[in-house]
Amino acid sequence: MSVIVYTENWDGLFKKQTFEIATYASKLAEMLNTDSIAISIGNVAEEELGKLGNHGIKQIISVTDDKLKHFDGQLYTKVIADIAVKESAEVLVLANNNCGKALAPRLSVRLQAAIASAVHELPESVNPFKIKKRVFSGNAVSLNELKTKTKILTLAQNSIDIEEMPEAAAIETYTPDLGDLVSAIEVQETEKQTGKVLLTDAEIVVSGGRGMKSPDNWAPLLELAELLDGATACSRPVSDEGWRPHEEHTGQTGKIVAPNVYFAIGISGATQHLAGVSSSKYIIAINNDKDAPIFEAAQYGIVGDAAKILPQLVEAVKELKSS
């Protein structure tokens, strides 16, 4: 028996979310009286792999194969499922990001394993296996029972604290048996955003809505985000109008984010917007309408004109940084 965690890498490096899922898998393994094993696909240096041991991982299975250079759901599923069978995995844990969302359902069919996606805490019980997840875009939580022998979980980002549980993790290399399977996907071109904090990774997000009035008013918002090492975001009408790029749109039909702090500036707080941001630890609302629904979701609020307040916040953060 084991708990298997699939750890994705970005140009050979792990991210905060990797250590979150490693911590989660190790704590779950404890509940099941078993060990947590990590799978890594691609070139990751031993030193980087070893970091997983800080979070309770007992064994690391490293897979490198030219056929696995680009992400392909079908091939990656084969590799992870084969290892899961070999290690008698009882639970597989993945991040609830693009790759995790692509792999978890395929693995579920292949391993006849029930799935709970975007979970945000450990199971309530492991026998029977009961776990909570958010449903109806954050408007309710459901308690679910997973009834199969093997189970698959994807963990929502930023939902648990990373913990240090040092283990001397053994690294093992594994040669995948891909037979004559080849990827049907031909990658023509990859564009990567560089030098900016990614919206889905950011601890602090500064987001603007229609209350910002015009695309020309964004300078202080961008400055605030930069000073706080944060990312910028916006509401849907703002990206629809072309005031800001589409990648910044958060909400039900945009990106789902869960930073520590989400500044909603000139955003009314429509249910569809909140659906993408309501798991943030702190929501800060700045809005000139004291009855705007965003204040019901916020922990801190300022009723006032964003154009007047933003520059003062920028000043305050500058003072804080220089003190």
Partner 1 sequence: MNILVCISHVPDTTTKVKFSENNTKLDTAGIQWVINPWDELSLTRALELKDDAASGVKKVSVAHVGLANTEPTIRKALAIGADDAYRVNAEAFDAHQVAAELAEVIKAGSFDIILCGIESSDYNGSNVGGMLAEFLGYPSVSGISHLGIEQEKVVITREIDGGKQQLTLPVPFVGIVQKGIAKEPRIAAMRGIMQARTKPIHVSEPKAADAQTSVLNFEPPEPRADCKFIDPENPKELITLLQNEAKVI
Ligand X SMILES: Cc1cc2nc3c(=O)[nH]c(=O)nc-3n(C[C@H](O)[C@H](O)[C@H](O)COP(=O)(O)OP(=O)(O)OC[C@H]3O[C@@H](n4cnc5c(N)ncnc54)[C@H](O)[C@@H]3O)c2cc1C
When asked if residue 209 is in the footprint of ligand X (CB under 6 A), the reply is: yes
Of residues 262 through 291, those in contact with ligand X by CB under 6 A are 266-268, 270, 272-273, 276, 286-289
Contact region with ligand X (CB under 6 A), list: 68-76, 146-154, 155-163, 261-269: 261-269
Task: Measure the CA–CA gap between 111 and 90, rounded to whole angstroms.
Answer: 10
Binding mask 221-240 for partner 1 (x = CB under 8 A): -------x------------
Q: Of 199, 21, 202, 12, whose CA–CA distance to 95 is shortest?
A: 21
Which of the stretches 26-34, 78-86, 179-187, 231-239 binds ligand X when contact is defined by CB under 6 A? 231-239
Q: Which of residues 256-295 bind partner 1 (CB under 8 A)?
A: 260-261, 271-272, 275, 278, 281-285, 295
Is there a contact between 171 and 46 (Cβ–Cβ < 8 Å)?
A: yes
Tokens for 222, please give them.
């961008």
Residue 302 half-sphere exposure, CB side, CA atoms within 13 Å? Answer: 15
Could you say which residues in the range 95-154 bind partner 1, by CB under 8 A? Answer: 97-98, 101-106, 108-110, 112-118, 130, 133-148
Residue 306 binding ligand X, by CB under 6 A: yes
Number of Cβ atoms within 10 Å of the Cβ of 259? 26
Q: Are 65 and 176 in contact (CB under 8 A)?
A: yes
Q: Which stretch binds partner 1 (CB under 8 A): 52-60, 82-90, 194-202, 207-215?
A: 194-202
Q: Is 232 in the site for ligand X (CB under 6 A)?
A: no
251 binds ligand X (CB under 6 A): yes
State the Cα–Cα distance between residues 116 and 28, nearest whole angstrom. 14
Q: In angstroms, what is the C-alpha Rg of the chain? A: 21
Number of alpha carbons in the 13 Å side-chain half-sphere of residue 117: 15
Measure the CA angle with vertex 80, ends 79 and 82; round to 5°: 65
* Closest CB to ligand X among residues 185, 219: 219
CB 119 within 8 A of CB 154: yes
- Told to check if 73 binds partner 1 by CB under 8 A, we report yes
Q: Is residue 220 at the binding interface for ligand X, with CB under 6 A as the rule? A: no
* Segment interacting with partner 1, rule: CB under 8 A, options 26-34, 43-51, 168-176, 190-198: 190-198
Q: Which of positions 51-70 make contact with partner 1 (CB under 8 A)? A: none
Shortest separation between residue 251's beta carbon and partner 1, angstroms: 10
The only residue of 235, 278, 279, 280 in contact with ligand X, by rule CB under 6 A: 235
Which DSSP symbol is given to 165? B
Is residue 193 within the footprint of ligand X (CB under 6 A)?
no
Q: Which of 55-63, 170-178, 207-215, 254-262 is the region at the interface with partner 1 (rule: CB under 8 A)?
A: 254-262
CA 223/CA 250 separation, integer angstroms: 20
d(CA 183, CA 161) in angstroms, rounded, equals: 36
Does 200 bind partner 1 (CB under 8 A)? Our answer is yes
DSSP category for residue 250: B
- Three-state SS at 322: helix
Stated as kind and residue range, the H or E segment containing 52 is none
Any contact of residue 214 with ligand X (CB under 6 A)? no
Residues within the interface to ligand X (CB under 6 A) = 209-211, 235-238, 251-254, 266-268, 270, 272-273, 276, 286-289, 292, 305-307
